[in-house]
Amino acid sequence: MASKRAAVEPWQWPEEQWRRLVNHVRAGRRLAPDRWKDGARCAVALSFDSDHETNELRDGGQSIGRLCWGQYGSRVGVPRILKLLARYGVPATFYVPAVSALLHPDEQRRVVAEGHEIGIHGVIHELNSALPHKGERDLLLRSADTLEQITGVRPVGLRTPSWDFSPHTLAIEKEMGLAYDSSLMADEDCYELLLDGEATGIVELPVEWVRDDAVYFMMHRFQSLRPYTPPPDVFDVFRRELDAAYEDGGLFQLTMHPHVIGYRSRIWIIEELIRHARSKPGVWFATHAQVVDWAKHHAA
């Protein structure tokens, strides 16, 4: 956070200072397998961030309209997504803030019962970089405990809310014994995270803004935020990412939100992507945890 005016301007920083900042959390060993499970050429990892009402609550918002929009994510979005995934037999990963899980516990139990993974996504979609170390640690531990209490399954991965990663996040993930993170974007393949140059054993399953539905579709009535890309164009971006990942023998990862992609005019994007992937030989659909496990143990 650049809240305090630096006594020394960045262009006056000694080399040691900018190197330390850059090297604090870094991509290490690339974890790209020659072949995915069952000899597959490409892995497809779909994820849904079930933020629901927390997108409004996390800023202290009390708009009933926006809270109801969050409810749509649970009431219409998730069931529609689950129905689609079941029709094609595709597993996915859902990242769920603890408050969202407490508001919609049956939804989380259904997600797990249908063979999907649930990962950590903070308590109330808080921004980690705004928190002190202890506060961030307490919230992340509480997030994991809450999801375990509700679903009976201890989560093994974290997606930081808003992909906001503090200087303490990686050390907390290590302390929690997590298998992976999915919030950073130093590569398109999985990689091992380094903390101050030391290997952590934690795998990054990288995300990207270009592979996030919210970038193209989000709307805020009282801010300047508007959807700016028609659904066929969003599909085109995602399909090209998928085709190129397939050519590379790599990983296609996608981030979506039930209250963003769940609409009648948009849900077809996921279905067409699944059908497109299925039309190619050797595509493995997996949860993020499954992709990480395979990449870690079969890296070339």
CB of 294 to Zn ion, least distance (A): 25
Instruction: Give residue number: closest CB to Zn ion.
Output: 49
- List the one residue out of 23, 298, 256, 33 whose CA is nearest residue 159: 256
Smaller CB distance to Zn ion: residue 49 or 192?
Answer: 49
Instruction: State the Cα angle at 168 between 167 and 171, rounded to 5°.
Output: 125
* CB-CB neighbours of 106 under 10 Å: 9
Question: x/- contact string, 20-49, with Zn ion (CB under 5 A)?
Answer: -----------------------------x
Distance CA 143, CA 259 (A): 21
Smaller CB distance to Zn ion: residue 51 or 213?
Answer: 51
CB of 160 to Zn ion, least distance (A): 9
Please list, residue by residue across 142-171, b when 16 or more beta carbons sit within 10 angstroms of its beta carbon and e when fewer do: ebbebbeebbeeebbbbbbbbbbbbebbbb
CB of 258 to Zn ion, least distance (A): 11
Task: Based on the shown chain and the rule CB under 5 A, indicate whether residue 126 belongs to the binding site for Zn ion.
Answer: no
CB of 136 to Zn ion, least distance (A): 16
CA distances to 16, 217, 230, 268, 284 from 104, rounded to whole Å, are 48, 24, 31, 25, 30
Residue 123 near residue 143, CB atoms below 8 Å: yes
Question: x/- contact string, 44-83, with Zn ion (CB under 5 A)?
Answer: -----x-x--------------------------------
Smaller CB distance to Zn ion: residue 49 or 241?
Answer: 49
CB of 182 to Zn ion, least distance (A): 11
CB of 125 to Zn ion, least distance (A): 6
Residues 151-190 that bind Zn ion (CB under 5 A): none
Residue 172 near residue 137, CB atoms below 8 Å: yes
Smaller CB distance to Zn ion: residue 51 or 204?
Answer: 51
* CB-CB neighbours of 1 under 10 Å: 8
Which residues of this chain interact with Zn ion, rule CB under 5 A? 49, 51
